[in-house]
Structure 1
Amino acid sequence: MALGLLALPLAPTASADPLLFGSPTLPLPELGSEPDLLFYGQNGTVMLNIPVPQGMTPESLNVTVQLPVNVRSASVTVSQDNRLLTSVELPPEGGPLAIPLNGVEVQDNSASVLVRSYLLPVEGYCLDPSNPLRLANSAITFVGAEASPTTVADFLPPVLRRLVIQVGESPSRAEADAVVRLATAVTAHYGAQHPQVVVESLAGPAPVPGEGAAPLERHIVVSEGPDAGLSLVGPEPLPALLISGPPSELTNQTRLLTSGVGRFALSSKAVAGPLKSVPQLARDETTIRDLGQPGVNAIALNPQVGVNLDQTRMGRSVKGVRVHLIGSYTPLPTTIGGQVVASVGGEIVARWPVAPSGTIDRWVEVPDRLLQRNTTLAVQVNISGDTGRCGEFQPVTLTIDGSTVVTSKAAHPPVVKGFQSLPQAMMPRLQVGLDMDRDPLADLIRAVKILTGLQRVSALPFGIEVTPIEEAVSSPHPAVLIDAEGWSHPQIQLAIKAPDTVPMTLDVLDDEGEPTTLTLDPKVRFGSLQTVVHDGRSILVATSNGGAVDELDNLLTWLDADARRWSALNGVGLVSVPGRAPVTVPGGLEPDTDATATSSSRLPWLAAGGLAAGAAVVGLVWLVRRRPSSE
């Protein structure tokens, strides 16, 4: 289960122990940042936040320089707290470059530096404002060696590549609940680093960890037992962490690791008192500051900023979104005209002429049909008039304040269909239904892959409770249901199911997003991940037909191999059949619609193979139906 992150070769030097890194080079994606640093215009800036493993110090920023056209010379500076660390000239032909970070200060296992670019265009030419200086494939080289954890407080490192959670071959409900909560809590804690999370079986009945951890890897054993607490166990220099306790205490002990209280666990063993996990309660009115944006600004000839409307930060599925934009822009002289334009996905939703005062105080409505899990409301000041040969007119500063108000209403059912409705439609709490009698460990492994995937696309953690699948099926709460060997709960109808007798062809999208077809017949074995709205609650079902458990596992492994795949999912289902990559079933069913009914206003996505007459369609199980274009 390996994440598809950009990787640069590591160049560790010799260290005291082969399990500990010595002077590694880590690509920015492993540090939670984008792989490329982009600088627009003649002077651009990027704030780079670097998590620093204990025992190490950043030594250099390694990049591949890609200059825009018509540049005569270019340089970059790196500073920290208004203190210049380095200034380097960029090679005119581009290529690899190591930018020294001498003198950088590390505080609380982190260092923040400001990288600033200076470009000088060829005489007589203008820089293209849409063509940036790109420092590609960026990585940080560190000096020093990874420090071995000696207390519970420093068990989780600032940079984590892989977490292995070990549990018994037949985990109890309490152990399964603790494992899923732990996996999602660690995923939320590390955010954009996207560490790989793996669940494995213990080698024996005793709660003893297996082989030692690799560099930037940690092992955690979860086991029921009479003694509650967290303790370091196993061989040095990278011991494992044992989380134990009776069923009523096990989940509470798990919370200590990623809670704010954990930093005070300054010994090799700690016992957590009562720790409550309280999910965020959604509100009808909030501000973009509360949604993670203290304010946004841009300086350019036609500056543009983006206001992120993240439904996972709002803590629910929403509709009727209105944004009260509060801000300002540089007042324009009378010889220059302009307008302020608000748009979503390239579609203009509001525009108004610039005001002499340069103030912005305007309500903007976001149409429900443009909403996604994360919607960006773009605000731009467009100016016209004589701005000089290369736009030499004084650049305009556009600012949207953090006090900008966002109002919304709860959407039940969600207006965003399918995978784009998750996980916000399941917030603040969801249930995870496992078959605790058949193969609980296998279902637990599947649950961790699904829940960590959902957590990666969520800006906030969400509450989780593991239950037997029968309990989750009959519950009124949102749920993730895992019935790996075949769907055996007909009270919840699935949109994708095998036909009874006649092969059918489904219009789908491949893993590149290109249209293709998938033919299903009664004998085909497939695994699927499907979204369902049943009795007003959102459900995600992981299942197969004909016992095709391997196809379901292939599908989940494919999703887990690249952290970007979950965020890119659209449609109502994902299907895996032998011999090809999983395909996406586009579209969505309206809530409370009978999946087997047909009508002239709703056309099926599927066509029966070999059928020449419409009468032959009677009695077939239609897999997925398309929403009419008028909706």
Structure 2
Amino acid sequence: MGASLACVLKKATVVVATVAAVAVLTVNFGSSQVKAAPGDAGQVADAPTLSLASLGVDKDIPLYGLQASQTITVPVPKGLTPGALSADVELPPYVRGGTLFVTQEGRTLSRIELLVAENTPLSIPLTGARVVDNSVTFTVRSRLLPEEGDCLYDPTVPLALTDAAIDYTGKEAAPTLVADFLPPVLQKMTIFTPQQPSVAESDAAVRAATAVVSRYGTQNTEVDIAPLADGETAPPSDPLERNVVIREGADAAVSLQDGARGVPALRIAGSADELGDQVRLLGSDLSKLALSSKVVTGHIDSTSDPSPDRVTLRELGQSEVKSTAFKPQAVVDVDQTRVGRPVRDVRVHLLGSYTPLPSTVGGALVVSAGGETIDQWAADSSGRIDRTVSIPQSELQRDTKLSVAVDIAGNIGRCGEFQPVTLTIDDTTAIESSSADPPDPAGFQSLPQALMPTVQVGVEPESFDDTARAVSIMKGLQRLSASRIDTEVVPLADAIDSESPAVLISADGWDNDKVVPPVRSSTDGTVQVQRIGGGSPATLSLDPAKPFASLQAGRIGSRSVLFATSENAPDQLDSLLDWLGGDVRRWAALNGTAAISLPGSDPVTIDAQAAAPPQPAHEGGVNPVWWIAACVGVVIGASLAALAVHRRRRT
């Protein structure tokens, strides 16, 4: 399984159509949106400066010790060249200066002298850096000079390059081949569908959105959807952006549309049976063979099997983890979305190494999860790590950060005599687990792994609004997942009757009793909370009535279901989804079983299971369902109070 966890190709064909080549366009772009002036076809403003964070790389570069180094890899769009690395420089205390070097393959690209100043803006030239496979790799090295006299230099405080960015030069080359349509750096994609999309068109739109989000990962590419009237064509896209048009039709093809200026849109067309295969090309390695302006794909199977019970980091697409510091810490992701299913009974066989410590320094290796220490042992002269640790179920989350640290104590010498320790966790480290059914933890922390390998998305047919909601939900879930989520959009009624994991979207209320969300409301202000283990629901009446929108993670029989619904308040559901999509951290921060949104206040989350006492109520005790209802009432009451005290306009 590769790092991208690309689609499995069981049977795939590519037909390259003979068409007139699209005219070669070159564009030059800036960090802000700047349209081409009339007469300047194919060109816009100056080349951009992009933060490392927007390139999917940590924006801060710490360099520990009097001599240190760190290697950085960033993507480079075609036609551009990395001109400089810019950052704010913060020198450690009691340092009188130093030198920064940037090297590549043994060659020195630049050398900068450092002066004593805080938050000094710095531009380090990258002239002559070699670009390979649309990316550039270089090493930043530092050499510091401590103040003379009494040594007060603290080696645990790094030289910090903060808010780092790459200044590009040149002009981006517009794609002339389908293979080049998606650039190494993409800030935004807009997907255009008909105003009343068919189920196949809605399905293709959701597949395109998840493919792009999965491909660009931590670049956090924005994905929007927009309607397109019959006979209308999508406009050329802005710099670092792309437009995709999805149409159901007789002629299956993926092709670049002609454009007078800028980057041409990509048109994906085909019959209801063919459209899915055409759009799968966006997320497939097969796209590298699309060396024409128009191609037709055969069948592509996008479903990946879950990983086995024992799998290495390398097989999960993770490389070795290395950290160099005076107390280094390496973090291993025990990510259930990489495994492809909910897991329990997790054991990690750690393999790696660390710099042996001198006799004057003692140390221990400490393993923690969720901030809790789960294992530790004394460091020895071998510098080898070969140990199996178990992660307590209470600390297991969707993506559990397993931290391995070298904790040192003792005489570290004067003026940097003791150099930083390098800690490495090999990619042969293995993760052992068993399937969890039902998922534990439950609720939002069980998503999206409980929806894998294929999730059905139920929408009202020919509803653009429901299609837009499906795109919003699935791109949010995809951002949580290290592997691609396979989707299938179907009519809502079919998804309700199915036995597959599902996302059920009903913006105008929920009136189906076959599958019931944990918390329901009605227009008269009555809140219903389903009883654990069946029976009549508990109810709570709110006065004044306040219909709310919600996103709820439920378990129906043996399948997991995510409900997106409101009580005749579709705008409120859209507001909830817009709020979640407004910050990439909000989907990851969801806990509990329900996110509830009322007008005029930020959404709140509740955990119906946590609200109930762990043991059944004894005679004379309080029914746990009423605890759940009370929790919902308190949440909604608090929201209404906040609305009355602090009414504000939602952006």
TM-score when normalising by structure 2: 0.83
1:483 and 2:506 matched: yes
What residue is the counterpart of 2:188 in the other structure? 162
The aligned amino acid for 1:570 is: N
Distance 1:587 1:129 in 2: 49
What residue is the counterpart of 2:89 in the other structure? 65
Residue number among 158, 179, 197 corresponding to 1:171 in the alignment? 197
What residue is the counterpart of 1:143 in the other structure? 169
Cα RMSD over matched residues?
3.2
Q: Which has the higher contact order (CA 8 A, sep 6+)?
A: 2
What residue is the counterpart of 2:646 in the other structure? none
Distance 2:554 2:56 in 1: 32
* Correspondence list, 1:252-291, <5 A: 252-291=277-316
* Correspondence list, 1:119-518, <5 A: 119-123=144-148, 124-128=150-154, 131-202=157-228, 204-206=229-231, 208-237=232-261, 238-332=263-357, 336-389=361-414, 392-393=417-418, 395-436=420-461, 440-498=463-521
Cα distance, 1:384 vs structure 2:
3.6
- Partner of 1:160, secondary structure, is coil
Cα distance, 1:12 vs structure 2:
8.1
What residue is the counterpart of 1:559 in the other structure? 580
Cα distance, 1:569 vs structure 2:
2.1
Distance 1:387 1:153 in 2: 54
What residue is the counterpart of 2:551 in the other structure? 529
**Cα 1:102–1:394 shift into 2, 3 Å:** closer
Cα distance, 1:173 vs structure 2:
1.2
What residue is the counterpart of 1:38 in the other structure? 62
* Correspondence list, 1:77-116, <5 A: 77-93=101-117, 94-116=119-141
What residue is the counterpart of 2:565 in the other structure? 543
**Cα 1:234–1:301 shift into 2, 3 Å:** closer
**Cα 1:495–1:90 shift into 2, 3 Å:** farther
The aligned amino acid for 1:530 is: Q
Distance 2:78 2:380 in 1: 52
- Partner of 1:48, secondary structure, is strand
Contact 2:64 2:324 in 1 (8 A): no
**Cα 1:293–1:42 shift into 2, 3 Å:** farther
Distance 1:108 1:56 in 2: 13
**Cα 1:382–1:62 shift into 2, 3 Å:** closer
What residue is the counterpart of 1:47 in the other structure? 71
**Cα 1:246–1:327 shift into 2, 3 Å:** same
Contact 1:22 1:146 in 2 (8 A): no
Note the alpha carbon deviations across 1:405-439, whole angstroms, 9 max, x for none: 21001111111232222111111111101111xx6
The aligned amino acid for 2:593 is: V
**Cα 1:21–1:9 shift into 2, 3 Å:** closer
Contact 1:505 1:607 in 2 (8 A): no
The aligned amino acid for 1:170 is: Q
Cα distance, 1:298 vs structure 2:
3.2
**Cα 1:129–1:317 shift into 2, 3 Å:** farther
Cα distance, 1:369 vs structure 2:
0.5
- Partner of 2:519, secondary structure, is coil
Note the alpha carbon deviations across 1:48-92, whole angstroms, 9 max, x for none: 222112211111122222333333213322122222111112342
- Partner of 2:230, secondary structure, is coil
What residue is the counterpart of 2:534 in the other structure? none
- Partner of 1:472, secondary structure, is helix
Unaligned runs of 5+ in 2: 1-29, 530-540, 635-651
Distance 1:562 1:317 in 2: 26
Contact 2:606 2:631 in 1 (8 A): no
**Sequence identity percentage:** 45
The aligned amino acid for 1:230 is: V
Moved more, 601-610 or 456-465: 601-610
- Partner of 1:552, secondary structure, is helix
**Cα 1:21–1:407 shift into 2, 3 Å:** farther
The aligned amino acid for 1:135 is: L
Moved more, 375-384 or 163-172: 375-384
Contact 1:226 1:245 in 2 (8 A): yes
**Cα 1:76–1:567 shift into 2, 3 Å:** farther
**Cα 1:199–1:365 shift into 2, 3 Å:** same
**Cα 1:116–1:417 shift into 2, 3 Å:** farther
- Partner of 1:248, secondary structure, is coil
- Partner of 2:173, secondary structure, is coil
Cα distance, 1:586 vs structure 2:
4.5
- Partner of 1:413, secondary structure, is coil
Distance 1:499 1:172 in 2: 30
**Cα 1:176–1:348 shift into 2, 3 Å:** same
Distance 1:333 1:75 in 2: 28
Cα distance, 1:363 vs structure 2:
1.4
Unaligned runs of 5+ in 1: 1-7, 507-518, 612-631
Distance 1:153 1:608 in 2: 53
What residue is the counterpart of 2:26 in the other structure? none
Cα distance, 1:128 vs structure 2:
4.3
Cα distance, 1:603 vs structure 2:
7.1
Contact 1:504 1:608 in 2 (8 A): no
Distance 1:82 1:73 in 2: 24
Contact 2:520 2:528 in 1 (8 A): no
Contact 2:156 2:325 in 1 (8 A): no
Cα distance, 1:106 vs structure 2:
1.4
- Partner of 2:179, secondary structure, is coil
**Cα 1:154–1:358 shift into 2, 3 Å:** closer
**Cα 1:168–1:503 shift into 2, 3 Å:** closer
Note the alpha carbon deviations across 1:573-617, whole angstroms, 9 max, x for none: 2222111222222564699x9999995667725549999xxxxxx
Contact 1:42 1:127 in 2 (8 A): no
Contact 1:38 1:132 in 2 (8 A): yes
What residue is the counterpart of 1:515 in the other structure? none
**Cα 1:356–1:81 shift into 2, 3 Å:** closer
The aligned amino acid for 1:228 is: A
The aligned amino acid for 1:32 is: G
Question: Number of matched residues?
Answer: 587
What residue is the counterpart of 1:28 in the other structure? 52
Contact 1:20 1:147 in 2 (8 A): no
- Partner of 2:88, secondary structure, is strand
- Partner of 1:473, secondary structure, is helix
Distance 1:542 1:328 in 2: 47
